[in-house]
Amino acid sequence: MEVRVASTDAEIAACFAVMQVLRPDLQEAGFVARVRSLALTGYGLAYGLEGERVAVVAGFRLGDSLARGPFLYVDDLVTAPELRSRGYGAAMLAWLRRFARDRGCARLHLDSGLQRTDAHRFYEREGMHKSAFHFFESLPPADGQD
């Protein structure tokens, strides 16, 4: 499977249906604009094809931190449900690893929702390790006060 980085609006739009499997709140009408906006902050969208059909997509970004050093963070990784267990996810993960190494990254990171037990088995089978809990807090909108 050849992996490409989506660079045109048509390529980005072609990734929507698969991405929506992972991110069901996404709206098709604003998808291309949202990806373009994220790209301004370093987000990349990679995809792999089965024939002419998008089989797998991955959103990612390069980063650097005191704790991690240079790394590639995978925001999104999803295979079309009817195409799972055919090696597309593993091929995408292998591509992401090469992409990261080629850019001087020593690590690849991702978070996965606690409910995604099938994904966790996949990541562990692919040699990834659980290393942390991810905590978050929803913040109310700013009221204009400092």
Structural domain span for residue 11: 3-125
Residue 68 belongs to some domain of the structure: yes
Query: What pLDDT does 70 receive?
Result: 97
Please report, for the domain that includes residue 49, its CATH number.
3.40.630.30
Residue 113 belongs to some domain of the structure: yes
| Average pLDDT, integer, range 123-143 | 90
Residue 29 belongs to some domain of the structure: yes
The encoded tokens of residue 89 equal 């996810």
pLDDT digits (tens, 9 = 90+) for 59-108: 999 999 999 899 999 999 999 999 999 999 999 999 999 999 999 999 99
pLDDT at 145 over 70: no
**Separation CA 33–CA 74 (nearest Å):** 20
If pLDDT is split at 50, 70 and 90, which confidence band does 114 have? Answer: confident
Query: What pLDDT does 20 receive?
Result: 98
Residue 137 belongs to some domain of the structure: no
Please tell me the total count of domains within the chain: 1
Residue 41 belongs to some domain of the structure: yes
pLDDT digits (tens, 9 = 90+) for 3-57: 999 999 999 999 999 999 999 999 999 999 999 999 999 999 999 999 999 999 9
Residue 26 belongs to some domain of the structure: yes
Residue 131 belongs to some domain of the structure: no
Residue 135 belongs to some domain of the structure: no
**Separation CA 124–CA 116 (nearest Å):** 13
pTM above 0.85, yes or no: yes
Beta bridge partners of 46: 5, 58
pLDDT at 146 over 60: no
